[in-house]
Amino acid sequence: MQRAVLLLGANADMAESMARHFAQRGYQLLLASRNTEKLASLESDLKIRYDADVQVFRFDANDYPSHHAFYHSLPVKPDVVVVAFGVLGDTEMAMGDWNSSQEIISANFTGAVSIVNVVALDFQQRQAGTIVGISSVAGERGRQSNFIYGSAKAGFTAYLSGLRNRLTRHKVHVVTVKPGFVRTKMIADVPTPVLLTATPDQVAKRIDRAIQKRKNVIYVLPVWRYIMLVIKLIPEFIFKKLSL
């Protein structure tokens, strides 16, 4: 039977690569995002390129009360759900403006918890399914440059870990993805070191493999595992003085 994947936050570069990847592998695609207008061109593209079965839905991570109805009104129940939405935000601005802080926390943590709760209960009942959460290496240790984002991602990582623990005996699999640097369309504006930067296509391939091999926590480029290990080993009395 054809498998279905639900991509939440489908306008993100990484999600677009995943959509292409899953389309080529014959999945039915349910693409959801706040901006469905932007999704329309992706929808037509996937249909023309891969003869894919694609549908587009409006989904707002911040609108918690809508999540239950959103999920249960989908035309099919997905086999794979990917949480790809998230907001980096501006830490400096967020410090002085609660609304921006809340937006960061909501898009990266509470909004994700709200929708994944709904999905998890369904998967638990069906005794099947895979949940993929795109978290971040920023959640492993708070740094002054992005700790509001980082702490929300830390929360999300902990949530996914607990969820995995809960759902394993229900045959539901949970993958936590920590991408590290990813080359986005905006690369020219913010240069990152080439060897540490994955392409969105690499992310998509790694995630697909993680789903098939039932991996639990993945870094897209293995080198990040060691980088984060080192970062976590730095004693706090030194770490607090670093400008990271």
Partner 1 sequence: MVRAISNWGNYPVIQANEFSISSQEDIRQRLLDSSLIVRGNGRCYGDASLAPSIVSSVGLNRFLAWNPMDGILTCQSGVLLSEILEVFVPKGWFLPVTPGTKYITVGGAVASDVHGKNHHVDGSFSQHVIELELMTGQGELITCSRDTHPDIFWATCGGMGLTGAILAVTFRLKKIATSFIRYHHIKARNLYEILDLFDQYSSATYSVAWIDCLIKGENFGRSILMLGETASPEDLTENNERLRAGKEPFLNVPFNFPAFALNKLSIRAFNALYYGKNLTKESRKIVHYEPFFYPLDSILNWNRIYGSRGFVQYQFVLPEDSGRKGIEDILQRISKRGLGSFLAVLKQFGYQNDLISFPMKGYTLALDIPIVYGLFEFLNQLDEVVAGYGGRIYLSKDARMSSEIFWKTYKNAPKFQEVILRYDPELKFCSELSKRLKIKG
Q: Is 49 in the site for partner 1 (CB under 8 A)?
A: yes
Residue of 38, 58, 126, 232 that binds partner 1 (CB under 8 A): 38
SS3 content of the chain, % helix, strand, coil (to 5): 55, 15, 30
Q: Is 41 in the site for partner 1 (CB under 8 A)?
A: yes
| Token pair of 112 as six digits | 């994700």
Q: Which is nearer to partner 1, 24 or 168 (CB)?
A: 24
Compute the half-sphere exposure of residue 215: CA atoms within 13 Å on the CB side of its CA: 16
Compute the half-sphere exposure of residue 160: CA atoms within 13 Å on the CB side of its CA: 29
> Is 82 within 8 Å of 132 (Cβ atoms)?
yes
Residue of 1, 2, 48, 65 that binds partner 1 (CB under 8 A): 48
- DSSP symbol at 73: T
Q: Is 233 in the site for partner 1 (CB under 8 A)?
A: no
Q: Which stretch binds partner 1 (CB under 8 A): 40-48, 95-103, 107-115, 133-141?
A: 40-48
| Size of the residue set binding partner 1 (CB under 8 A) | 14
Q: Which is nearer to partner 1, 117 or 184 (CB)?
A: 184
Give which of 96, 170, 163 is closest to 132, Cα–Cα: 163
Q: Which stretch binds partner 1 (CB under 8 A): 44-52, 109-117, 172-180, 236-244?
A: 44-52
Nearest distance in Å: CB 120, partner 1: 32
The H or E element spanning position 7 is: strand 4-8
> Is 221 within 8 Å of 180 (Cβ atoms)?
yes
Q: Which stretch binds partner 1 (CB under 8 A): 84-92, 147-155, 183-191, 214-222?
A: 183-191
Diameter of the chain by CA atoms?
Answer: 57
Which residue matches tokens 């992706």?
42
Pairing of strands 53-58, 80-83: unpaired
Q: Which is nearer to partner 1, 47 or 68 (CB)?
A: 47
Q: Which stretch binds partner 1 (CB under 8 A): 88-96, 168-176, 186-194, 236-244?
A: 186-194
Q: Which is nearer to partner 1, 115 or 198 (CB)?
A: 198
What residues line the site for partner 1 (CB under 8 A)?
Answer: 13, 38, 41-42, 44-45, 48-49, 185-189, 191
